[in-house]
Amino acid sequence: MSVLEIRDLHVSVGEGDDAKEILRGVDLTVRSGETHAIMGPNGSGKSTLAYSIAGHPKYTITGGSVTLDGEDVLEMSVDERARAGLFLAMQYPVEVPGVSVSNFLRTAATAIKGEAPKLRTWVKDVKTEMSGLEMDPAFAERNVNEGFSGGEKKRHEILQMRLLKPAIAILDETDSGLDVDALRVVSEGVNKSREDSDVGVLLITHYTRILKYIKPDFVHVFVAGKVVDEGGPELAAKLEDEGYAAYVKGAPEVASA
Amino acid sequence: MPDQNAPTTTGLTTESATLAGELFGDGVGTQAGPPAVPAAGTGTAGQAAPGAHSHGGSTPTGSPAERFTSTDPDAFGVPTGREETWRFTPMKRIRPLLDGAPSDAHLTWTTDLPEGVELTSVEAGDPLLKGLPEPVDRLAALARQRCGGAAVVRVAKEAQPDRPVTLGLAGTGSDDVVWGHLVIEVGAFAQATIVLDHSGLAKYAGGVSVLVGDGAQVKLVSVQDWAPGAVHGGQYDAVVGRDATFTQVVVTLGGDLVRLVSNVQYAGPGGTAELFGVYFSDETQHQEHRLWVDHAVPNCTSNVLYKGALQGEGARTVWIGDVRIRPAATGTETYELNRNLVLTDGARADSVPNLEIETGEIVGAGHASATGRFDDEQLFYLCSRGIDAETARRLVVRGFFADVVQRIGLDALQDRLMASIDERLGALPALDDQPVEVA
């Protein structure tokens, strides 16, 4: 049982006079087994929230706290956060030339588990998960994200989530740029993790489309750097019909998503 | 920025700025590029006087409009280091290769010749030698003259040797300059890989001329794994036949000074040239790679990818990539890319891409050059998967090299080269020694 607690989180980008506050007091609690959807218009700071939790150096925490089971996440380095059980599926996964997917996955699994996984079971696990995500086995010998299509990148992110088995997974606009087929496959991967593990999911999205496949327990509306409304799945239905107009009124855009 | 050297002409895409921005931090460690002055004759489509001899003069950009060539070393004069083509080179260290003292010194050859391949030699004055592209500098002209003849590797037409032709060329530690010339003649429609594996201690001036027959597919791998103190200069020429493919992979790791000039010309339309290179310069090593791709016939393609890393005080690399598209070379497609990874302070990488385009009727032409430190986004990505920063750094650098090394396509050689690179980077975690086959 894990709990990710975000309290009054303030985050800015830039230095000195150019510093710009993007998150303005975010409160959120994600527990094992729960699926939370964060929905908001472009520029509301959704991705900033995701990257701040993961520890991207671009963002400066100016106030508030993030804890995982009471441990101070903000004090941890990026890799320590991952080893503590956090996982971020990125919107724009980075190409790493010359590093094969299989080498990368095994290095990551070794880091997370603290010891190299047994070759035999590992190979089988990777194969099984890849086939579940309808990925060609040849994929494993390609360089990380290099020349991947949008759909391949997202499948690769979910493949990592499946293999690394995080306590809390943050999915940053995993649905963006996917065709219906890829969206279905990726969603099935996420749902499988929700069924066969106790993972807590923080699903960040601009559209309601992915919520047809991944049913959230809680929906949070995110505008101008904080949560402005909360509810159950019915809130997503309302957003589908009415959009963000009611929330955005008077709230200036603070950042590009 | 290096891209300012590029003449802006129809069809040219210059991506340096974007790429550099994506790949690296804000120009950290960038020391690339000479003054941003267009070369003589650049950007003036169709006006370059054929045969004009321009060594840059007052506009030093590394891209003479026309190259002077000669088999007579004295036609070049003795370089002082102020010439455009020599201004990056440490003249004191390369001097023996420019003085031209005659010598009988040789490298020790270890050869592996598959069936369908013969190794022979020709005397000076042989008609085969007369037809080769001429030397472009004094060093190359001396090498050709002093060695008096050439070794010749012949791959019969339509031959498909079952393994690569390997020539291990080892220095014997002699102080005398070794003068050498190797001609590789590949018959029409043959498919062959030739590996030149340089090692040991030598002062070596060696020319390599590759004649790629029509429709042939030739891969030339040249490994410079010299012992410390070695000096190696040479001109590599490829003449690419009609519809032929020439791939060159240059790997420069060892030696005190390595200066290779690689030239490509096309004998007929439809040819493809792929020039890959990787270099790793440690303390005080000077590694210089100069490329010249001359598109003079229609519908040919060239693709250049050179990547280098530098670490330690006085590590120095130079990459010059000249591509010329002459008026007749319609339908040309060319791209060149140079990336330099500066691992420590005190190292310097020069990177100068030059594109000269004299016809608008091309498929595409572009180049990019980026010099910098680590890519923070790559590190963040790996670390966000639990991998510690030091391991992530090694993975990124190792991958940076592997990206080019894997284009050799010979597992044993690739493993040897990557092991050598690993050793210089510091040992990687044991995990990496046991790659996993998932497929």
Place of tokens 């083509």: B85
Is A32 an 8 Å CB contact of chain B? Answer: no
Q: What mean pLDDT comes out for the span A112-116? A: 93
Query: Three-class SS of residue B406?
Result: coil
Residue in B397, B374, B379 with CA at minimum distance from that of residue B28: B374
Q: What mean pLDDT comes out for the span B16-37? A: 34
Residue in A116, A212, A197, A115 with CA at minimum distance from that of residue A161: A197
Closest CB to B386 among A112, A116, A141: A112
Query: What pLDDT was estimated at residue B254?
Result: 95
Res. B211 pLDDT band, cuts 50 70 90: very high
- Side-chain-side CA neighbours of B420 within 13 Å: the count stands at 22
DSSP state of B260: E
Q: B192 near B165, Cβ under 8 Å?
A: yes
Q: B276 near B248, Cβ under 8 Å?
A: yes
Place of tokens 């030093």: B60
DSSP state of A94: P
Q: What mean pLDDT comes out for the span A31-59? A: 95
Do B432 and A141 lie within an 8 Å CB cutoff? no
What are residue A249's phi and psi, to 5 degrees? -45, 120
**Which residues are bridge partners to B200 per DSSP?**
B171, B226
Closest CB to A102 among B377, B386, B435: B435
Locate the chain B residue with the closest alpha carbon to A99: B399
The token pair that represents A27 in the structure block: 């409160």
Closest CB to A88 among B375, B384, B403: B384
**Which residues are bridge partners to A37 per DSSP?**
A203, A219
Please check the confidence at residue A23 and state whether its pLDDT lies above 70.
yes
CA-to-CA distance for B240 and A80, rounded, in angstroms? Answer: 53
Query: What pLDDT was estimated at residue A64?
Result: 97
Residue at B135: amino acid letter: P
Residues 146-175 (A) with a CB less than 8 A from some CB of B: 160, 164
Res. A240 pLDDT band, cuts 50 70 90: confident
Q: B76 vs chain A: nearest CA distance in angstroms?
A: 42
Res. B430 pLDDT band, cuts 50 70 90: very low
DSSP state of B69: -
- B140-184: per-residue pLDDT in tens? 999 999 998 999 999 999 999 999 999 999 999 999 999 999 999
The token pair that represents B410 in the structure block: 């010979």
**Which residues are bridge partners to B246 per DSSP?**
B218, B273
Please check the confidence at residue A156 and state whether its pLDDT lies above 80.
yes
- B280-291: per-residue pLDDT in tens? 999 999 999 999
- B218-228: per-residue pLDDT in tens? 999 999 999 99
Helix (H) or strand (E) holding B18: helix B16-23
Q: What mean pLDDT comes out for the span B119-128? A: 95
Q: What mean pLDDT comes out for the span A223-248? A: 91
Res. B270 pLDDT band, cuts 50 70 90: very high
CA-to-CA distance for B347 and B205, rounded, in angstroms? Answer: 26
CA-to-CA distance for B35 and A140, rounded, in angstroms? Answer: 44
CA-to-CA distance for B85 and A198, rounded, in angstroms? Answer: 65
Query: What pLDDT was estimated at residue A245?
Result: 87
Please check the confidence at residue A111 and state whether its pLDDT lies above 70.
yes
Please check the confidence at residue B234 and state whether its pLDDT lies above 50.
yes
**B contacts of A141 (beta carbons < 8 Å):** 438-439
Residue in B377, B437, B388 with CA at minimum distance from that of residue A112: B388
Q: A2 near A86, Cβ under 8 Å?
A: no
- A213-228: per-residue pLDDT in tens? 999 999 999 999 999 9
pTM value is 0.75
- A179-234: per-residue pLDDT in tens? 999 999 999 999 999 999 999 999 999 888 999 999 999 999 999 999 999 999 99
Query: What pLDDT was estimated at residue B266?
Result: 98
Cα→Cα distances B381→A96, A111, A167, B115, Å: 9, 14, 19, 48
Cα→Cα distances B383→A113, B9, B59, Å: 14, 43, 46
* Percent of residues, chain A, with pLDDT higher than 70: 97
CA-to-CA distance for A79 and B269, rounded, in angstroms? Answer: 53
> What dihedral do alpha carbons B366, B218, B211, B141 form, nearest 10°?
70
Please check the confidence at residue B15 and state whether its pLDDT lies above 70.
no
Q: What mean pLDDT comes out for the span A46-61? A: 96
What are residue A201's phi and psi, to 5 degrees? -120, 130
Do B436 and A103 lie within an 8 Å CB cutoff? yes
The token pair that represents B103 in the structure block: 């010598």
Q: How many CB atoms lie within 10 A of CB A213?
A: 16
**Mean pLDDT of chain B, nearest integer:** 85
What are residue B134's phi and psi, to 5 degrees? -85, 160
Residue in B34, B188, B163 with CA at minimum distance from that of residue B111: B163
Helix (H) or strand (E) holding A36: strand A35-39
**A contacts of B377 (beta carbons < 8 Å):** 94
Closest CB to B436 among A95, A119, A137: A119
Please check the confidence at residue B134 and state whether its pLDDT lies above 90.
yes
Locate the chain A residue with the closest alpha carbon to B401: A98
Helix (H) or strand (E) holding B247: strand B245-252
Helix (H) or strand (E) holding B372: strand B364-372
Query: Three-class SS of residue B3?
Result: helix
Pairing of strands B165-186, B217-226: unpaired
Please check the confidence at residue B97 and state whether its pLDDT lies above 90.
yes
Please check the confidence at residue B95 and state whether its pLDDT lies above 70.
yes
Locate the chain B residue with the closest alpha carbon to A90: B381
What are residue B406's phi and psi, to 5 degrees? -70, -10
Give ipTM to 2 decimals.
0.95
> In Å, how far from its chain's centre is CA A133?
18
Q: What mean pLDDT comes out for the span A171-183? A: 93
Is B414 an 8 Å CB contact of chain A? Answer: no
User: How many pairs of residues across A and B have Cβ atoms under 8 Å apart?
Assistant: 118
Do A79 and B380 lie within an 8 Å CB cutoff? no
Query: What pLDDT was estimated at residue B144?
Result: 96
